[in-house]
Chains A and B, each alone.
Chain A
Amino acid sequence: MSQTGKELNGAEIFLESLRKEGVDTIFGYPGGAVLGIYDKLYDCDFIHHILVRHEQGAAHMAEGYAKATGKVGVVLVTSGPGATNTVTGIADAYMDSIPLVVFTGQVPSKLIGNDAFQEADIVGITRPITKHNFLVKDVEELASTIKKAFFIASTGRPGPVLIDMPKDMLAKTTRFVYPDQVDIKGYKPTISGHSQQIKKAAAAFRKAKRPLLYVGGGVVMAGAHRELGLLAQEAGIPVTMTLQGLGAFPMTDPLSLGMLGMHGTFWANMATENCDLLVSLGARFDDRVTGNTETFARNAYKIQVDIDPTAIDKNVRVDLPIVGDLKSVLADLLTELSEKPVQSDYSDWWTMIQQWKDACPLEYDNHDGKLRAQFVLQKISEKVKGQAVVVTDVGQHQMWATQWIQFDHPRSHITSGGLGTMGFSVPAAIGAAFAVTDRPVISISGDGGFQMNMQELITAAHHKLPVKFIILNNSFLGMVRQWQGLFYKEKFSFTDLSASNPDFVKVAEAFGCKGLSTDSPDEVDALLDAVLAYNEGPVLAEFKVVKEEMVFPMVPSGGSMRDIMVKRLDPNRLV
C-alpha cells in the first residue's frame, strides 16, 4: 500500500524509503537512538531485519550481501558505540568499493556536541572512509537524503554512504514524498568512454605482439564479464586478474593466467613484466599488485580503463587513460575491433608463457601424510567446480585460495582486499548466504581471523543458514609468522596460538552449529562431502594443518620479479 502523500514520522519515512529503494534485507542492532525505528520495524512486513551480535558483523554482512548480489547492503545501528563498531566494515567497503548505506542513530539534535550519553561524531569519524555522508536534522530532508545516499553508493565507483539520524528527527512528522530522481550538482559519473581514446586503444590492440589484460574488481562491479570474455576470445589474449577481479574471467579457461601480484602465479607476473601492451580494466595498480612501480610492466604501452578518474595515473603512469563504465567502454571497443579485427599471431607469446608455467608451477609437498591447507582448498575446488560462493578471510589461506580454488564466475569470490580485515569472512559469508540460495556459501578462515567475529555463528544458526564455515587451523597467525620467518630472523613474536586456541568443535556446538574436525589428509574427502551435504543449518569444519607452510611465489613488498621467492624454479625450462 502506497504511503506517498501521507503524514509519517521519521522512522516510518525511513522504512518507506527503503521499500522505495527495493530493500528487503537489512542488518542491524537496536539501541537508544534508533528505538523509534525498531518500534515501527516490529510491525513492518516488508523488511527482513537480521539481528547481529556485534555491529561490525552487521557491516561485514552487508558487504557480503552486496558483493554476492551487486545490490546495496544496508546497515542500521544506534549512536555512539553502535556507530563506531561499524567503522572497520565501512573502511573495508571504502577500500574495496562496495555499495553500502549505513544508517546510524544519533543523540537528539539539541544534545549534539554536548558529550551526551552514547554520542559520537560519526559523520566526522567516517568522513575519510565514506564516499559521502550526511547528518539529517530536518525530517523534511530525510527521504531525499536516502534517495541521494542510494544513488551515490551504487553509481560511479561504488562505496559506502552513511546517514546519521538524530533521535528527535525520527519522531517528527511530515508528508512523505519519495523523489523519483536525484540531481547532485557535483556528482555526475562519466559512463561513456571518449571515442577517440577507444579508437586509439583498438589501434594499440592491433599493433601489440604481447598483450595482457589486467582485470580488477571493476569488471565484476560493472557486470562487464561477458564483454571481457569476448575481448579475450577475440584474439586469444591472456588474462590475469587481481584479488578482487578473480571470477571476472573463468580461471579454468586456458586464457587465464590466474592472479598476479605479491602471491600471484609466476607466469602471470612474468607475463606482466614482459608484455608490450598492458590493459588495466577496473584495477587500481595497488602496491600488492605492482611491487616496485618503477619496474612494473616497464616495457608495456599501458591502457587504463576506470570509472574513477582518481584511479588513473595514481600509482603508475599510463599511456592511454579511458574514463568510463567498463561495460560501455568494452562494448565500444569490441565494436571498434569488429570493424577492423586484430590479426596478430600470439603463438610466440603463448610459448613464452607456457615456459614460465612449466618452470615454476604452483605446488606443495603432499607425500608425508601431513595435512596442508593447499590440499584442503584444492579438494574444495574439485568438489564445488566453480558452483559456490567462497568467502575468504585475510592471510595465508586467502592467498592459497586464489592459487588452488578455480573461480569461474563473477561474484563467486568474496574477500577483504584493500583493508585486509581479519574477521571478515564469517559475517560476510552469512550476509552472502541471505542472498544466495542456489549454491553453497563457503566461509574460509584461519584460526586467528575466525575468532575475530565468531560471535556471528549464532546469527547463522538462528536463521538456519547452511553456511559452510571452514577453519584452516595451523595454530598460528600464519602470514605474520611467514614474514617473521622470512624477514625477522624467525622470531615468532606473539603469533603462536597453539596454547590458547579454543576447541573449535565445541565453539560450533555452543553456537548451535554442527562441528567437525580432522588432521588427516585421508579424511578430507569424507569430511568435505559431509559438510557440503549438510543443509539443515550452519556447519563448521576444522582442518588442523601444518604450521610451517609458506605462501609462494612471493614478491617481497616493493620488490620486482628479480626479488621473487619461489618454492622451486627449474631454470632449464626457462629458455
Chain B
Amino acid sequence: MKKIISVLVENKFGALNRVATMFSGRGFNIHSISIGVTEDPEVSRMTIVTSGEANILDQIIKQLNRLIDTIKVVDLSAENHVARELAMISVNYQKGIRSEIMNIVEVFQGKVVDITIKSITIEVTGPPDKIDAFINMVSPYGIKEVARSGLVALKREEQVVVRKKEVHIA
C-alpha cells in the first residue's frame, strides 16, 4: 500500500537528515521525498511517498511524530488531497520525428524548456501516472535524461457552497 505523508518540520539544520535517518534506520521505504519552505519561513514541508503494510505505515507516522523537529504529520492518503509532480525529460530530437514528439508534448500539455538540433527538454507536471505515461510515450524516440521532483501535495480544502442569496455585492 502506498501512502502520501505531509510533514511540517522546523526549518533547521539537519531536519531532513533526521527524517531520512529514521527511515533508513528502521528499514522503511521512501519512494520520493520533496522538501521546501512553507508560508512560514521557520517551517518546511516535506512530502513523503512511502509504502508498506498497514502496521508499518502506522509506525512510520508515529515515528515521524516522535522526532522533536516535527511539528505536524498528516496522512494525506486518508484525506481528499491534490498531488503533483514535475519532471524534465530530455529526448532525442532528430529530423523526422520532431512533429511526432511535439504532438505528444501538446497532448500532455508539456512545455519545451530547452531545445537544440539534437535534443529537446520537456517539462511536464501532473500526477505521477501522467508523467509515467508521458515518459512511456516518448521513450521510443530515445530518452537522454530524466529528472523528477518527487511528489508535492496538499489537502483539499472543504468546498464552501455559496448560495445565491448569501452573495452580497457591494
Contact = CB atoms under 8 A, between A and B. Distances in A.
B165 interface: no
B112 to A, nearest CB: 40
Contacts of A313: 55, 58-59
A319 to B, nearest CB: 15
A308 B66 contact: yes
A152 B68 contact: yes
Contact of A185 (B14, B25, B62, B71): B71
Interface in A310-328: 310, 312-314, 317
Contact of A310 (B17, B21, B66): B66
Contact of B59 (A123, A186, A314): A314
What is the size category of the interface that chain B forms with chain A? 20 to 34
Contacts of A309: 62, 65-66
A186 B69 contact: yes
Contacts of A310: 59, 62-63, 65-66
Contacts of A186: 9-10, 67-72
A128 interface: yes
Listed residue (A123, A185, A187) with the most chain B CB atoms within 10 angstroms of its CB = A185
Interface string B1-34: 0000000011001100110011001000000000
B58 A128 contact: no
Contacts of A5: none
Nearest to A308: B66
B27 to A, nearest CB: 12
A82 to B, nearest CB: 21
B8 to A, nearest CB: 8
A138 B134 CA distance: 49
Contact of A128 (B21, B55, B70): B21
B64 to A, nearest CB: 10
B59 A131 contact: no
Interface in A93-149: 123-124, 127-128, 131-132, 135
A184 interface: yes
A298 B13 CA distance: 45
Nearest to A161: B68
Nearest to A124: B17
B35 to A, nearest CB: 16
A124 B16 CA distance: 12
A132 B66 contact: no
Contacts of A312: 62
A184 B68 contact: yes
Query: For B25, B55, B62, B68, which residue has the most chain A Cβ atoms within 10 angstroms?
Result: B68
A529 B71 CA distance: 57
A123 B71 CA distance: 21
For the complex of A and B, the 9 pairs showing the least CB-CB separation, nearest first, are A132-B68, A310-B62, A186-B71, A128-B25, A186-B70, A185-B71, A127-B21, A187-B68, A309-B62
